[in-house]
């Protein structure tokens, strides 16, 4: 049962896969499922500009997603991270995992 107020949006304005809603433990299962589907569909870049909140669980999801993509010899780009994502990754000194495009876009 999908219980979340996180909107799962396929095909955002930039033409790629865009995660939105919250990347937190309450929604981790749903978001994780979504990421799995997209990776199976061949995703190599995910737009994080619409992520409203992020916690440790969210970080794990993204790292695991990168691992899954790396396992098939490719790499997953974590793109346009929103402020909450940047904050958490910054705290964990994992900013290096985020795409180096420093321009942040606030969630509209």
Partner 1 sequence: MSQDEDILAVAREGFLDEARDMLRQFEQALLTMEQDPSDAEAVNSAFRAAHTVKGTAGLFGFDAVVRFTHEVESLLESMRSGELALSDEAMALLLQGRDQMERLLAEIGLDAQDPDVAQTSLTLGEALRALRERGAPALGQGLASAALSGGADPSRLVAESVPAAGGVWHISLRMGIDALRNGLDPLSFIRYLSTLGEVRGIHTVTDAIPDLAALDPESCFLGFEIRLATEADRATIEGVFEFMLDDCSLTVLAPDAASADYERLLDARAPDTQPEAREHLLAAWQSLAGPGAAPFIERREDVPERRANEPERRSGAKERRGGDETRFIRVRADKLDHLIDLIGELVIASSGAQMVARTEQSPTFGEAAQRISDLVQEARDGALGLRMMPIGETFSRFQRVVRDVSKQLEKDVELAISGGDTEMDKQMVETIADPLMHLVRNSLDHGLEGPAERLAAGKPAQGRICLNAYHESGSVVLEVSDDGRGLNRDRILAKAMERGLIEPDADLDDEQVYQLIFMPGFSTAEQVTNLSGRGVGMDVVKRNVEGLRGQIRVSSRPGQGATIQIRLPLTLAIIDGFLTSVGGVSYVLPLELVAECLEVPAECQSQPDRVAGHFDLRGEVLPYLDIGRFYRHSGTPAARRSLVLVRDGSTRVGLIVDRLHGEHQTVIKPLGQVFQDIKGLAGSTILGSGEVALILDVPALLDLATTRLSSAAGSRGQAARTVAGVHSEPR
- Give the chain's length: 108
Phi, psi of 59 (to 5 degrees): -60, -45
Contact in structure between 48 and 61 (CB atoms under 8 Å): no
CA of residue 12 relative to chain centroid, distance: 13
Q: Which of 19, 47, 50, 89 binds partner 1 (CB under 8 A)?
A: 89
Interacting residue with partner 1 among 8, 79, 86, 99 (CB under 8 A): 86
Q: Is 24 exposed, middle or buried (0-12, 13-18, 19+ CB in 10 A)?
A: buried
Residue 65 interacting with partner 1 (CB under 8 A): yes
Sketch the per residue contact string, 3 through 42, with partner 1: x for CB under 8 A, - otherwise. Answer: ----------------------x--xx-xx--xx--x---
> Using CB under 8 A as the criterion, which residues of the chain lie in contact with partner 1 when the complex forms?
25, 28-29, 31-32, 35-36, 39, 55-57, 59-61, 63-65, 67-68, 71, 83-84, 86-95, 104
């Amino acid at each position: 049962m999908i219980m979340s107020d996180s909107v799962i949006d396929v095909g955002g304005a930039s033409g790629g896969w865009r995660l939105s809603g919250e990347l937190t433990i309450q929604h981790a299962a749903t978001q994780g499922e979504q990421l799995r589907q997209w990776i199976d569909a061949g995703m190599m870049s995910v737009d994080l500009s619409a992520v409203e909140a992020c916690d440790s669980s969210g970080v794990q999801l993204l790292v695991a997603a990168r691992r899954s993509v790396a396992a098939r010899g490719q790499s997953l780009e974590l793109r346009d991270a929103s402020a909450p994502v940047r904050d958490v990754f910054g705290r964990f000194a994992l900013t290096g995992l985020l795409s180096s495009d420093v321009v942040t876009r606030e969630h509209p």
